[in-house]
Every structure is written in structure tokens, then in C-alpha cells.
Structure 1
Amino acid sequence: MLLSPFEWMIAKRYMLPGRGEAFIALVAGISLVAVMLGVAALVIVMSVMNGFRAELFDKIVGLNGHAIVQAYGGRLDNWQDVLEDVRQTPGVTRASPLIEQPLLATFNGRVEAILVRGNTQEDIARIKSKVTAGSLTPLRPGGDMVAIGSRLAQNLGAQVGDTITVINPQGRSTPFGTVPRQIGYQVAAIIEIGVYDYDQAFVVMPIADAQTLLLTGDTIGMIEVTTTDPDNVETILAPLEEKLAGQAIVTSWKTINASLFEALAVERVAMFVVLSIIVLVAVFNILSSLIMLVRAKTRDIAILRTMGATRRSLMKVFVTAGFLIGALGTGAGVLLGFVFLFFRQPIVRGVELMTGQNLWDPSIRFLTELPSRTDPVEVAVICVLALVLSFLATLYPASRAASTDPVQVLRYE
């Protein structure tokens, strides 16, 4: 809808009302700010929700793989053969033996529930980037060295070089009952995965040491699997699941974390709908400001009609005036949203300092920092939504202006 020079001149004049129309200008300015805040809120919330899901997915799946092959009863005896079958399955990129067992750890009188994780040397090397203190190099079979989560280290008061005691209730039998097995392990490294539940419980050791601690012999608990496409992991592993029927069960990340990711998906949709209402309210402000502008300019519109201005021209003038308010608010909102996301962590810390409240508790939020991942497609959808609503809001006032009867207006002039 291109404007002629005449139409553009009138549109610019109406977008900047005179002194006697300051209230109309104020309402138009409020409309612009409202659109800006609504669009910014949508961009910020959707980016944070996307970032939360992506970060959580990367950390959980990156550590545990896309699926788990777990034996009935918790012990996989012929795991070498099963491991070979998994690795030969089309679509599988990596498969590693794994032992996970909840136990207890003590240090200086403090007791904490832990999750002992027995990994291969290759898998231990993969978490090298997560080390915050010490080194993973000493973690060798038979070395009685472990890496522990950062939160667990804080809860126990342990540091690199300290010796923690891991307690296995399934110890040796004596005439007086079962004596829990207690083995001391020196802390070689402190790791931070970024997921609170992992950082407060993980004790990583070589898989041979985990077998010795748990008295399982040459067996493992499970095999973690990584595939080419995590979204289609169930389809990729369907042949393997049929082959291992009755021997082991294949569980994908979707099943393991189903409640968490489904809750995130529902919350994401709900937040989009709720925050879209803010944009809708801002659009009604544009509608009201244009209606007031048409009422104030009724005489001017009538004069323009008598001078030869067509209904179509007047329609285009008022649609342009209202649409530009929405367009400017949308652009400013996207810019404000990106600025907020870039400085999100300092903003959160600043609000925490001012209010004295912990806004991002890792024990509740799972992640240690506020994440963000902007989806260009979603930003485009938000912009289109705001612009379409702004355009629709201009149609009624513009049609009223275009239908002005100059005879009725100027009869008594």
C-alpha cells in the first residue's frame, strides 16, 4: 500500500499532533511504549524458555546419552555382547558401559546421599571441560581417586586432596549381620555439570573401581547410547529393543525426563498466550488513539474531501499513522528484548541485590544460571503478530475517517 506524496505529508502531520492535541500525542506515545513492552516481554520470555529447555537438554542428554539400555534386575552379565549389538545398530554413534548406584558418602562427620557413577576412561575424559578444581588425570583403575560434584563438595566441606568415605550397605556378611562396605577415595577433581541435582550428588570413578566398590564382578548396570537424531531415538532403537526383549529394556531420554520436558512445553505455550494479551492490550491503545485523532480531525477531513481527497486516500493516511506506531513499538521491543537478554545475568544479580531475594535458586531451577537461546523464527512470528494486530486496529478508525460526509460536517461552518 504505497502512499502518494500528498498522502504521506498528511500522515506525517497526523502522527505529530499540534499543541492543542497533546493528549492525543500522549495516548499515541503510551500505545507505542505498550507495544514495545509487550513485544520485548514475548521475546525475553520465549528466549529464556527456549534456552532453559536447550540447556537442560544439552546437559542431561550430553551426560547421559540419548537412551539407556538397562538389564532386568540391574545387572547386565553378557554386557560385552550387548554392547557390540548396540554399536552395530544403524543410527547409533556412541555406546558406553555405565554403572550408577545411589550410596552414601561421609567426610568430617557429614553424611550426604550420592550417586556413584562408574565410567570408562573415554567418558571420564569427556567431562574434562566441567572441572573447576583439580584434574581428571589421576582417575585410573585401582587408584582410589574420584571426581565429585561442586555442590556435593560444598555440602561435605571437601576439597581436592581430601579423602571421602563411600559407604555401600551391601557389604560382607558376618555372624553379627551384614557389615556395610566402607572405602576411602581421594578427591582428584571437583566438577560442575550445571544441573543442580547432578552437582550435589555425582561421584565419578573408573568403572573397574565402581565394580569393586559394589561387589558386582565383571558386570555393569547399563549402557548409555547416543544416536544421530535425539528426536527420533525411539525409532532408531526400535530394532534393538526387539532384539533385547526379555533381557534388557531400552529407555529414551523422552521417557526418563518426560514429566520435566512436558511441563516445560506446556509452560512455554501458556506464557506465549498470556504475554500475547499484553500486545493485544497495546493494540487497543492504538485503536483508541486513532479514534480520538479522527474525532479531533473531523473538520480537517471534511475539508480534504471537498478539496478532492478520495476515501481511499484518507483510509491509507490513517492506516499508515496507526501502523507506524505499531511498527516502531515492535522494532523498539525487539531491540529492548535483545539488550535485556544480553545483560540478563547482571540484571538478575542487580534485582537480587535490591530486593534481597534469591531470584534464581539452582535447587529449584535445575540450572545454575539463567539461560537464553533466541529462535529467529519465533522472533519473526512475534513481530508479525504485533504488526498484524496493529494493522487490524487501524481499520475501524480509518474507515470512519474515510466515510466522513463533508456536507454534514461543514453545513454550519
Structure 2
Amino acid sequence: MASPAPFARYEWMIAWRYLRAKRAEGGVSVMTWISLVGITLAVFALIATLAVRSGFRAEFIDTILGANAHVTVYSTAYVSETGATSRQIEEYAQMADAVRAVPGVTRVAPLVKGQVMASFRGETSGVEVHGIRPEDLQSVPRVAEPLDSSGDLSRFGAEDVAGIAIGSGVARELNVVEGDVIRLISPDGARTAFGTTPRVSNYEIVYVFTAGRYDIDRTRVYMPFAEAQTYFNAEGAATELEVMVENPDEIEQYELPILQAAGPDAILWTWKDASGSFLRALDIEDNVMFVILSILVLIAAMNIVSGLIMLVKNKGRDIGILRTVGLTEGAILRIFFICGSLTGIIGTVLGVILGCLFALYVDPIFSAVNYLSGGGAWDPSIRGIYALPAKLEWGDVLSAVVLSLGLSFIVTIFPARRAARMNPVEALRYE
């Protein structure tokens, strides 16, 4: 007579009976529930943390790449005809054409940048002016398609109005709206026989945007390129070139071709150079959080061991009887392995469901937490973005599932082996 195949139906029936047995019947239902809840919460915490981590990183990088250059091209310092040290790019049009011809480069825009003081009815704020051509500004993703906006971007650079575009943070600091006229004050203004005098000019706000990143919205002002050249004494020149590429994550492969195209006097500064330390800190934090939460999953899995050891001890008489009627050591091992692994499987499934629901509904959940905490749960001035993001990646879910099931299966083997090796004679001696 052929022996039954491993994990036969009777093995599942016995294991299920043991799992749902009450303590009075020799079961450990309370420990089973504790193990189940522990695994569920641990997997939920792991998936939720990984989702928030992925969402924060994606949002942070998207706000950087959506409103800033992937590569910025500068010029080395040189002595101008007036004897002053300058870094302006005189032949910016030719340099832009050369860089634009590099494979993988999608956009090149000359800029004139400077820091000035903005003023409106007694309110002042330091801002960074970006002089840019209207057609180039309309191709900046986080400005042309912002989270929120007011005004008309098509009026930017119009001949009938001295219009500028400002971030919503600047508008909030100055208490201005679209249509107001603000004053920009630059200490490096007109050059006269008596020295340099501050330059003061008035500009109408034609567009207010929310890029989604606090430091950009709080400081960014866009001015038409030709106006910025005059305002910052850069007639016929640009201070830098803003370069966008197809694959900014692999920005290293573009550096050498862009540098060769820009010429021997060019200097490059990539978005990873600007944000590299923060990205490295995120990577370290990601690894540390994964290790910590993995330990939580391990602790939850150890509850399965405790419950299973108690179950083996309480079912010693049953094990002796089962061995006496012909069950092999392998069958006993599989029965108790099923008891432990089922707890891990069910807890993992419930944890995955809760974690995915958290990631999908993080906005209303965060809104509720923010409301209950009095509105101070998230400070964009510290974290850079306006809300807690979550991005559900199936790779993160799979890693959480593999970790939880793997630990649950591994820790279950040891008490299951102890049950399988129990001597039936010893188990029934005092019965």
C-alpha cells in the first residue's frame, strides 16, 4: 500500500483542528491570535513605511527635476574688457546650439539669474530671479503644469506688460495676488560716475504657481530673459545654460558629451551634485528602516515559535497516539509546520491588505491625523514638500511578503521537528 503524499488532506485537517482548539482542549488559541496580530501589524508597518519612503523619494526627485535644470552649464571666471571678473556667457546662443545637438538632450535654455529684494506695501522678501524666455518657461513641467496656479502664463513676456511669474510662497510672504505690481530692488544696479546705484523696477504679477516644493515656491521669480539681461547688467549675455535630458537618473552618461560640446571654459553642475548629500541620506535611512522593521517582523514571527512550542507540549498525548496508529515523523512535522505557517500566511495576507490600503488612501488618513494633531503634523518648510506621499511599488510588497513568509516558515521548522522526534512511548507513559 502506497504511503500518502506529503501535505495530504488529513494533515491539513489535523493542523486546522489544533489551530482552532480552545485552551481547555489543549489548544493555544490566544497565542495563535497574538501571533496573527503581530505578523499582520509588522507586515503592515513594513509595507506602509516602504510605500512612504518610495513616495517621498519620488516626489522629492520629481519636484527637483520638474522645476530645476538636470545639468547647469557655467563659464569659468575671466576678466572682462572693463577689467572686472565675470562669469557671464557671451556666446550663449552658439553654446546652446552645440549642447542641444548632444544625443539625449531635450532642452537647452539660457538663463540670467540673480538674487534681489521684493517689496510690496511694506512687506519684503528675498527672492531669486530667473530670467528666461517665454517659450522656455512654458516647457518647465512644474511651472507650466503646477499643482495650483492663478493668472495667465501666456502673458509672461508680452510686449504690452512688464509681467513676471512668482511662486505661491513668494505671493504669500508679500501678500500679493495676480495683477498686483511689486518692486524688485537689486544692489547691483546702474553704473554711474559715482559708482553703482541700486536698481529699482516695478513689475506686474501675471502668473502665480505652486511647483510643489517649498523652497522653490518660497523664492522663485521668473522674469523675461531680455528684461533680466537689462536688469542685471548682462546685455547680450547669459549667466548659465539650463539643460534637460531624457534620462536624468543616468545623468553621469551625459556629463562628458555636454562638457565637450560646451567648450573648454565650461563647468557643469548636475542635479545630483546639488542634492547628492540628501539622496545619500535617504538611501542610508531606507536601509536602516528596512533593517529595523525586519527585526519587528522577526519578533512577530517568534510569537509563532512560542505558540507552537506550547501546542506541541499540550498535544504530546495526541502525538503519541498518532505515531502509534502509523503516522510517520514526516507527517507529524508537516502537521505542526502547517499550524505555524498558516498563522504566518494569514497574518502576511492581512498585513499586505492593510499596507496597500494605507498607501492608496494615505491622503485622507494623513488629513485625519493632521486634523487630530491640530494641523502641525507636517511642516513643508522642513520637509520641502507639502504632503505625505506614498507610492506603492510591487517590488516593496514582494520583499515584505518574502521576508514575512520566509521568517515564518523558518522559525516554524524547529518546534515542528521537536514534535516529530517525540518518542511515542514517553508521550503515553503517564497517560
Q: Which TM-score band applies after superposition, normalised by the shorter structure?
A: over 0.9
Residues 280-309 of structure 1: CA deviation (Å, up to 9, x unaligned): 110111111111111111111111110111
Q: Which residue of 1 aligns with 2:102?
A: 89
Deviation of 1:32 (Å): 1.0
CA distance in 1, matches of 2:220, 2:276: 22
Write the distance in 2 (CA, Å) between the matches of 1:83 and 1:141. Answer: 24
The 5 Å alignment of 1:173-322 reads 173-174=191-192, 177-244=195-262, 246-322=264-340
Q: TM-score, normalised by structure 1?
A: 0.96
CA contact (8 A) 2:163 2:204 kept: yes
Residue 67 of structure 1 and its aligned partner are, at CA, apart by 1.0
Deviates more, 1:53-62 or 1:347-356: 347-356
Distance verdict in 2 for CA 1:80–1:196, change over 3 Å: same
Of residues 88, 93, 116 in structure 2, which corresponds to 1:75? 88
Counterpart of 1:379? 397
- Work out which of the residue numbers 156, 159, 165 in structure 1 matches 2:183: 165
CA drift at 1:93: 2.1
SS in 1 for 2:145: helix
Structure 2 unmatched ranges of 5 or more: 78-86
Work out the CA distance in 2 between the residues paired with 1:402 and 1:201: 70
Instruction: String of CA shifts for 1:189-246, please: whole Å, max 9, x gaps.
Output: 1100000000001111221121121121011111121222223222223133245464
Q: Is the 8 A contact 2:189 2:231 kept in 1?
A: no
Deviation at 1:123, TM superposition (A): 2.5
Partner of 1:138: 155
Return the letter of the residue paired with 1:62: G
**In structure 1, which of residues 19, 25, 29 is the aligned counterpart of residue 29 of structure 2?**
25
Q: 4+ residue stretches of structure 1 with deviation over 6 A?
A: none
Deviations 1:124-147 (A, max 9, x none): 223222252111111115531011
Distance 2:104 2:191 in 1: 46
Alpha-carbon shift at residue 176 of structure 1 (Å): 5.7
TM-score by length of 2: 0.92
**Counterpart in 2 of 1:10?**
14
The Cα offsets for residues 321-342 of structure 1, whole Å up to 9 and x where unpaired, read as 1111111111111110111122
Q: Which residue of 1 aligns with 2:387?
A: 369
Write the distance in 2 (CA, Å) between the matches of 1:22 and 1:95. Answer: 75
| CA distance in 1 between partners of 2:186 and 2:430 (Å) | 99
Counting aligned pairs with the same residue, the percent is 39
Instruction: Compute the RMSD of aligned alpha carbons.
Output: 1.7
1:98-146 Cα offsets, whole Å, 9 max, x none, are 2222211011111101011122222222322225211111111553101
Asked if 1 retains the 8 angstrom alpha-carbon contact of 2:23 and 2:29, the reply is no
Post-superposition offset of 1:22: 8.4
* 1:140 partner letter: G
Partner of residue 49, structure 1: 53
2:70 aligns to what?
66
Aligned length: 413
> C-alpha separation between the residues in 2 aligned to 1:132 and 1:33?
46
Any conservation in 1 of the 2:6–2:331 contact (CA below 8 Å)?
no
